[in-house]
Amino acid sequence: MNTVTRTLAATALALSMQAGLSAQAAEPAHPSAPSAVTRTASTITTADGVQLYYKDWGPKNGPVVTFSHGWPLDSDSWESQMMFLADHGYRVVAHDRRGHGRSSQPWDGNDMDHYADDLATVINTLDLKDVTLVGFSTGGGEVARYIGRHGTGRVKKAVLISSVPPFMLKTADNPGGVPIEVFDGIRKAQLENRSQLYKDIPSGPFYGFNRPGAKVNQAMVDAWWAQGMLGGQKNTYDSIAAFSATDFRADLQKFDVPTLVIHGDDDQIVPIDVAGRMSAKLIKGARLIVYPGAPHGLTETHKDKVNQDLLAFLQQK
């Protein structure tokens, strides 16, 4: 593991002993829902000309679940959950975030407001209703900002898994956050050798393979690398600021639907005390499920448990 990932793991582990976030944030904008320009069987073009690749699996008359993926991955990272829920009668929809995976790579707009608006475009274009929004890591921020900007008129429930809200970055009013030097280190490593960085992260802290006695699953590392490298350099670079420096505290206070928060207590990427536990406190009525010893990438390392917890939550009246 290189210096960047060692720093990230060490910093996050230390921060996992800290807690305490203030609940102040600027009010996000409330734009009208964006409209799509063009739709095909696997792509939707947004009003600003970005082509989003999407998957729409399962019975079309089934209850709808959307999935928002983490950085720098794409919708393939959800395949275990999507297959499982589709087999249980759910309509599951996931898109590759702008600049990631098979979606187009715009120079601008690589920020949470655009990510949320793109999710709204997918939901509106497919006319999805009573949706359960599921977000992992950066995707959890996308879900939070979607609710902050577009409300819950089409939303039935929400799930945040290993997610970045409420606010990752250490600031004067967020003293428990992660120092900006950690994210600057990731940016530096991305510019120097993105391919190597995308090997170091999954082979180290992302899946907990840097823990004593852990055995690296090379296939999981290779899949992570392949998804990451399919994204654009500029887009994934900009996204580091999007997931680390966006304040979601005001967005979380607008959640008015049943919400499940899942987080591992050995998450070295997004420490549970900075993220999952604080989100559960800010979201009225949220339920927190802690996975003892689980790493950040628990949708893979603990996929059977995640699938069962998602199904149980979806089936609750």
Q: 91 vs 46, 132, 169, CA distance in Å?
A: 22, 10, 35
- For the CA atoms of 132, 136, 226, 93, the dihedral, rounded to the nearest 10 degrees, stands at 10
Confirm if 75 and 86 have CB atoms less than 8 A apart. no
Catalytic residue among 68, 75, 103, 137: 137
157-188 burial, b if ≥16 CB within 10 A, otherwise e? Answer: bbbbbbbbbbbbbbeeebebbbeeebbebbbe
* Alpha-carbon gap, residue 127 to 129, rounded angstroms: 6
Given the residues 267, 273, 279, 309, the one annotated as active site: 267
* Residue 292 CB partners (closer than 8 Å, separation 6+): 264, 265
CA 227 to chain centre: 15
Q: Give the up-direction half-sphere exposure of residue 123: CA atoms within 13 A in the CB hemisphere.
A: 28
How many Å apart are CA 14 and CA 202, to the nearest integer? 20
Q: Which two tokens stand for residue 141?
A: 């921020």
Helix (H, G, I), strand (E, B) or coil at 57: strand
Q: Which run of H or E residues covers position 54?
A: strand 51-57
Please indicate whether residue 296 is annotated as part of the active site: yes
CA 47, chain centre distance (Å): 23
Note if 267 is an active site residue: yes
Which residues are the active-site residues? Answer: 137, 267, 296
